[in-house]
Amino acid sequence: MKSLNINGLIPKIPLIQGGMSVGISLDNLASAVANEGAIGIIGTAGIGLLDDNHVKNVKEANMEGLKKVIRKAREKTKGIIGVNIMTVLTDYKELVTTAIKEEIDLIISGAGLPLNLPSFLEETSKTKLVPIVSSLKAAQIIFKKWWNNYKYIPDAFVLEGPKAGGHLGYKKENLNKKEYQLEATLPQLVDFTEEIKKNYGKEVPVIAAGGIDTPEKVRQMFSLGASGIQVGTPFIATKECDADIKFKEALINAKEEDIVIIESPVGLPGRAIKNKFIEEVEAGIRKPFICNFHCIKTCNVFDAPYCIAQALLNAAKGNLDEGFVFTGQYGYKINKISTVKDVINYLFQEI
């Protein structure tokens, strides 16, 4: 196992906690992960929706919410804390600049290619930039754009495979094809980063993500050249997770056949736990709404059968009748509430 070194950020445990947004990974979960020696991540999408005044000015509420959560996390840990900011957010620029001003340790950015992310850094910024990619081609495009426009090389890549939870960077028909699995794409990306090191002198670690839920899979990812792993779903069913207990229980009670791929209003496939809400949507029953959030650039609010932000917010607060739970492919294997320490110790017990 390599040590994970993200341009000077060196966690004791080479693990990044997945940034699960709309109230799932906030200051409590992120700080708990950081206190165990790994990297805790705050999910930023919808972070201002937890404030009752968010409808008045969503962008302002999100910026204030992000500041508040980062500062609360800093009060709870001296460890490494980052944020996950999706490129498709309408307030992407505002969230990125807010995080940098708050001196967050790193920004992880995906759900599209974060081609202009380095443009928000200032000369004195210490924040590291880590794009999420689903393929070698995506990584090459980002590298070329960042180097040509900003003379900046990514500080790491998160390679997210098709077994991940939430919105997925793959076409639905490709999710189960061998050539898109981490076992195939991870060595390709590792070879590319070796070329970067050889030609530009910078170490760019690759963090494997998506469906990594056992010690055997952790060991496999490192054997394929990963320098770290990103894990989301196993941290949902922990005492420290910021979501409501009913959200966690939905994961604990899920069976294998309950894990389904849905068509999200944002135009991407997503992996979730099937429930009454999803069944009604699939049956053509619309959930009428007025878009107060305007949170996702790609969301067609005129044709969408429901508001994805509101559905996820409802679920995070425990109202599963009006929302649903995102999960990784193997979320059904989780059958009890544990702790962050338990999850990390289990995953790394063989290393």
Based on the fold, state whether residues 198 and 251 are members of the same structural domain.
no
Q: What is the pLDDT of residue 284?
A: 86
> Is residue 2 one of the residues assigned to a domain?
no
Torsional sign, CA 7, 9, 10, 13: negative
Q: CATH number of the domain at 196, please.
A: 3.20.20.70
* Secondary structure E strands in the chain: 15-17, 39-43, 80-84, 106-109, 128-133, 157-160, 166-167, 206-209, 228-231, 259-263, 269-273
> Is residue 8 one of the residues assigned to a domain?
no
> Is residue 4 one of the residues assigned to a domain?
no
> Is residue 7 one of the residues assigned to a domain?
no
Based on the fold, state whether residues 237 and 249 are members of the same structural domain.
no
pLDDT tens-digit map of 153-173:
999 999 999 999 998 989 999
Based on the fold, state whether residues 223 and 256 are members of the same structural domain.
no
Based on the fold, state whether residues 262 and 310 are members of the same structural domain.
yes
Based on the fold, state whether residues 273 and 165 are members of the same structural domain.
no
Based on the fold, state whether residues 231 and 249 are members of the same structural domain.
no
> Is residue 6 one of the residues assigned to a domain?
no
pLDDT tens-digit map of 21-32:
888 999 999 999
Based on the fold, state whether residues 170 and 281 are members of the same structural domain.
no
Based on the fold, state whether residues 53 and 153 are members of the same structural domain.
yes
Into how many domains does the chain fold? 2
Based on the fold, state whether residues 146 and 270 are members of the same structural domain.
no
Based on the fold, state whether residues 110 and 53 are members of the same structural domain.
yes
Q: Whole-angstrom Cα distance, residue 123 to residue 268?
A: 36
Q: Which residue range is the domain that position 170 belongs to?
A: 15-242+336-347
342: which 2 tokens? Answer: 């338990």
> Is residue 110 one of the residues assigned to a domain?
yes
Q: What is the pLDDT of residue 52?
A: 63
Percent of the chain residues past pLDDT 70, beyond the cut: 97
Cβ neighbours for 210, distance < 8 A, ≥ 6 positions apart = 160, 161, 162, 163, 164, 182, 230, 328, 329
pLDDT tens-digit map of 301-339:
777 888 888 899 999 999 999 999 999 999 999 999 999
> Is residue 234 one of the residues assigned to a domain?
yes
More confident residue, 27 or 50: 27
> Is residue 10 one of the residues assigned to a domain?
no
Based on the fold, state whether residues 233 and 269 are members of the same structural domain.
no
pTM (two decimals): 0.94
Q: Whole-angstrom Cα distance, residue 280 to residue 186?
A: 38
Based on the fold, state whether residues 172 and 309 are members of the same structural domain.
no
